[in-house]
Chains A and B, each alone.
Chain A
Amino acid sequence: MKNSQTTFAIEVEDMTVAYREKPVLWDVDLLVPGGILQAIIGPNGAGKTTMIKAILGLVKPSAGRVLIYGKPYSQQRQLVAYVPQRGSVDWDFPTNVLDVVMMGRYGTLGWFRRPGKEDHQRAEEALAKVGMADFLKRQISQLSGGQQQRVFLARALVQDAMVYFMDEPFQGVDATTEKAIVSLLKELRAAGKTVLVVHHDLQTVTEYFDWVLLLNVRRIASGPVSEVFTEKNLRLAYGGKVAFLTHHTHQNAGAPTNV
């Protein structure tokens, strides 16, 4: 991995974000190779969401540099798709499912141009992919939490990106939706895409992801799950608070570590 020739999908250097004088992220470096699924984990207030938002320029970092496939993010916007937390928008907004998914095409369209037939078709395909083909005209206020999440994923899919940022896509969804999201993640990886996911559930990290970033304001560790998802690192990230979890994950992650 220390090959200097490699262009990383995401390259973050010295990312520091502070709300007033209180640092939320402190000098975080992150290298993510292309074509992997990477989780960001850490306790509440560790800066996981802030990390994604700072990379995307949604919050202003005090310091730090972001490269997407070797170039600044502002030049590579077209390569990046973003799935915000479900609760970040008003689901009573007067519009339907198809329309929300179509918003993913707006970036490609740019100012003034309106979505056309092709965008329409792409949106329908993406909705079929997340199992929402029967909900095209459904008012968004009538969706369940899992359905809302799938609509957001479909919206990210039509962006045709190379790098996907997802903020807690598994938060509060049913088992069916969780499975659908996991198979979608694997499909994206198979197509050579890179996905960075803010994740909460330590139990599924080894099952769902290839790489993991352990974060608690500072970077604790980042790398392949088998190397860095260890009890020692978890203890560093979470403190003593997750003794029962570290015990559990130790059994899961312990075996591959000792190979």
Chain B
Amino acid sequence: MTSAQFEIQLIAVVVAIACALPGVFLVLRRMAMMSDAISHSILLGIVLAFFLTRDLTSPFLVIAATLSGVLTVSLVELLNRTRLVREDTAIGLIFPVLFSIGVILISRYSGDIHLDTDSVLLGELAFAPFDRFIIFSRDFGPRALYLMGGIMFINIVLIIMFYKELKVATFDAGLAMALGFSPALIHYGLMSMVSITAVGAFDAVGSILVVALMIGPPASVYLLTDRLSLLLILSSLLGAAGSIMGYWVAHLLDASIAGSISSMIGLIFLAVYLFAPDRGLIAIARRRRRQRIEFALEMLLVHLFNHEGLPEAAIECHIANLPEHLYWELQFAQRVIRSGEKGNLLLNREEILFLTSTGRERAQKSILA
């Protein structure tokens, strides 16, 4: 592995962690699409600041971009508060406008500079190592690593400091307000964090990957854990793992790194969605099936119990008659019977079913309950 390869992966991991942390709260607050809006509309701030400073590395760009991210959030809320449009509609109305103004300004006035719309959407991680942080002709490594490392560090510190405030404002904003914490302040603080993170990340990885890294890992881990602290930690780790895997896939296929990482995050979510031990699709389907058989077995036991020892028992309790009497498919009935036999609840004597003593007890209990 060359040093450039190592640096690219390191940057990707740092971006993944920086994005996953505020992303957790976006997902919990059902504001996932806000990451999309912010990561696009920051372009306007960057372009405007560039026209003022004529310098692509000016810190003023970051400030202006962050402000335009916060502006997006306020405009969406302003529009939403009129109750004439819903929040998702408001998002869809606001950010394309701001983003497009940025695109128009670029295409009209700055055809000769490095700013172009492709790099905004997809970024180019492969070029990140070329932009070095050099002081007195000494090379300290890629600039993006310092920028994103700083943002990651700030995000970690802020979330640790305001952990309880973020938690209560996210879970129950009314209570947070009644307790004297300002949910609005926390909300805009979080949105600023999202904006700064998106600004820092977009140059290196592009806005699509910012969205993928903010939403994908938290959404996946949400299906795996019940604790907020674990959700934060595991989302960071999963985002980091997805970034490294995505990088090597890109290497193998000779494809876009950001694209590969985004796809990898999507695939990871799909895997979790299917195979999560408790809330995965497969686990749910299995549980449903088991419950259906358990319930059917209970019904069968009660049925046998009600006809036990009566003259019609030979007919009612004959396996061949179950489909007609209980409206079951024969195959399903056989599965239920097998499960009953396994649990030693009923016996099959020449196609006629009898309750065992445990089966009788169970049936009595079901009737009483």
Contacts and interface: CB of A to CB of B under 8 A. Distances in A.
Nearest to B221: A94
Given A58-B178, A77-B179, A80-B178, A103 B227 contact: no
Interface string B174-186: 1111111100000
Interface string B212-245: 0000000000100111101100000000000000
Interface stretch (B13-21, B113-121, B161-169, B290-298): B161-169
B28 interface: yes
Interface residues of B, number: 26
Contacts of B178: 56-58, 77, 80, 82, 107
B220 to A, nearest CB: 13
Given A95-B227, A96-B226, A111-B165, A90 B177 contact: no
Mostly, the B contact residues are helix
Contacts of A94: 28, 222, 225-228, 230-231
Given A94-B225, A103-B168, A139-B226, A82 B180 contact: no
B171 interface: yes
Contacts of A57: 177-178
Nearest to B170: A93
Contact of A106 (B28, B164, B222, B228): B164
Contacts of B175: 82, 84, 103, 155
Nearest to A57: B177
Contacts of B171: 89-90, 93, 95, 100, 103
B329 interface: no
B353 to A, nearest CB: 36
B139 interface: no
Contacts of A56: 177-178
B112 interface: no
B203 to A, nearest CB: 33
Nearest to A111: B165
Interface in A75-134: 77, 80, 82, 84, 88-90, 93-96, 100, 103, 106-107, 109-112, 114-115
A151 to B, nearest CB: 11
Contact of B28 (A58, A93, A112, A114): A93
B350 interface: no
Contacts of A93: 28, 170-171, 228
A53 to B, nearest CB: 8
A100 B28 CA distance: 15
B77 to A, nearest CB: 15
B172 interface: yes
19 contacts: A56-B177, A57-B178, A58-B174, A82-B175, A84-B172, A84-B174, A89-B172, A93-B170, A93-B171, A95-B226, A95-B227, A95-B228, A96-B226, A103-B175, A111-B165, A114-B163, A114-B164, A115-B164, A141-B226
